[in-house]
Amino acid sequence: MLTVSSLSRDELGRRLRGPGIDLQTGTFVTRLRSTIAHVADGIALLYADYPLPAHPGFADFYVNMRHSGGLRRFAGRQVLFDHDGHAPFRPLPLDQAFPMFEWAMNWCVSSRAHDCLIIHAAVIERNGCAAILPAPPGSGKSTLCAALVHRGWRLLSDELTLVRLTDGRIVPLPRPVSLKNASIDVIRAYVPEAVFSRAVQDTNKGTVAHVKAPADSVARALETARAAWIVFPQYQAGAAPTLEALDQGRAFMQLAGNCFNYSLLALPGFNALGRLIGGSASYQFRYSALDDAVAVFERLAQGAP
């Protein structure tokens, strides 16, 4: 199977500047074009293991990361996200091109994948069972996710949990894990073998870097999983690890607040969320040390919360 790593950096750049590449991430195919070196560098480094379909045809998303034109060029070099001929967002400084690509990919899926209930949550898997980690920014969700997927869990997604409406299965979307600010150095120290993109400063989220998804997670990107646990994590400095069971009513309301398309889906969304809550054990989790958190999740996987 042809993957991004099958192409030299020069060939990857030529294809991106020309007809583009068809990049497969889980069940989605993105036809990506870009003349921007930062984008090509990020793809070469973090998407090396991802398939490039041998016979390009229909793509789910048509994305062009390009230099902005018009009067904006006088404001400095900027990058524009062009989706199927439309630019839904304002340009960003050129140095932020790769983070913008990652944010754009999240937007594409969350805007279109309405055959699934889409939850803003990390999701990981062990032995066919998935743990969903919904949380607001600053909760330590991505830091915890990055640690766990380098300690025996499979990455299904760092940002978007896709719950299939037809059967409630979790559809994987393994892509690089996004880390911000202090979390970058935390994971560098905790997972020294992890592959990082360069850190980009002064974004609207602070300093941002991305961690390459484990190769096994990418290779198994078409293997769905059954939701078993919903864990709302919250990092708190100095806190002992505490896993507190949540009743289904509280869990339903908290999870609904993390869904992108719950209202749009109406009754099917309500039913999907109800089935998800009914078939999973829900918890509030407070932690400070990653070793403690990993141990708690190990006990969950073994059936002993």
pLDDT of residue 138: 79
pLDDT of residue 38: 95
pLDDT of residue 139: 87
Q: Facing residues of 62 across strands?
A: 31
Positive or negative, the CA dihedral 12, 17, 22, 23 is positive
Please write down the HEC assignment for all residues of 113-166: CCCEEEEEEEEEEECCEEEEEECCCCCCHHHHHHHHCCCCCEEEECCEEEEECC
Q: Above 90 in pLDDT, residue 114? A: yes
pLDDT of residue 221: 97
pLDDT category at 212 given cuts 50, 70, 90 is very high
Q: Above 60 in pLDDT, residue 63? A: yes
pLDDT category at 1 given cuts 50, 70, 90 is confident
- pTM for the model stands at 0.94
pLDDT category at 74 given cuts 50, 70, 90 is very low
pLDDT category at 70 given cuts 50, 70, 90 is low
Report pLDDT digits (tens) over 217-269.
999 999 999 999 999 999 999 999 999 999 999 999 999 999 999 999 999 99
Q: Percentage of the chain surpassing pLDDT 70?
A: 96
d(CA 208, CA 235): 19
The token pair at 269 is 């969304």
Mean local confidence (pLDDT), 280-303: 95
pLDDT of residue 84: 84
Long-range pairs for 291-294 at CB < 8 Å and ≥24 separation? 292/240, 292/241, 293/144, 293/147, 293/148, 293/233, 293/241, 294/147, 294/148, 294/151
Q: Above 70 in pLDDT, residue 159? A: yes
Residue 265 to residues 105, 157, 196, Cα–Cα distance (Å): 21, 21, 36
pLDDT category at 7 given cuts 50, 70, 90 is very high
Q: Above 50 in pLDDT, residue 31? A: yes
Query: What are the structural domain ranges in the chain?
Result: 4-112, 116-301
Contact 278, 127 (CB under 8 A): no
Q: Above 90 in pLDDT, residue 5? A: yes
Positive or negative, the CA dihedral 153, 159, 164, 165 is positive
Mean local confidence (pLDDT), 41-48: 98
Report pLDDT digits (tens) over 166-191.
999 999 999 999 999 999 999 999 99
- As a whole number, the mean pLDDT across the chain is 94
d(CA 171, CA 26): 8
pLDDT of residue 58: 87
Q: Percentage of the chain surpassing pLDDT 90?
A: 90
Mean local confidence (pLDDT), 13-23: 96
pLDDT of residue 305: 56
Beta strand 226-235 with 129-134: parallel, antiparallel or unpaired? parallel
Q: Above 90 in pLDDT, residue 149? A: yes
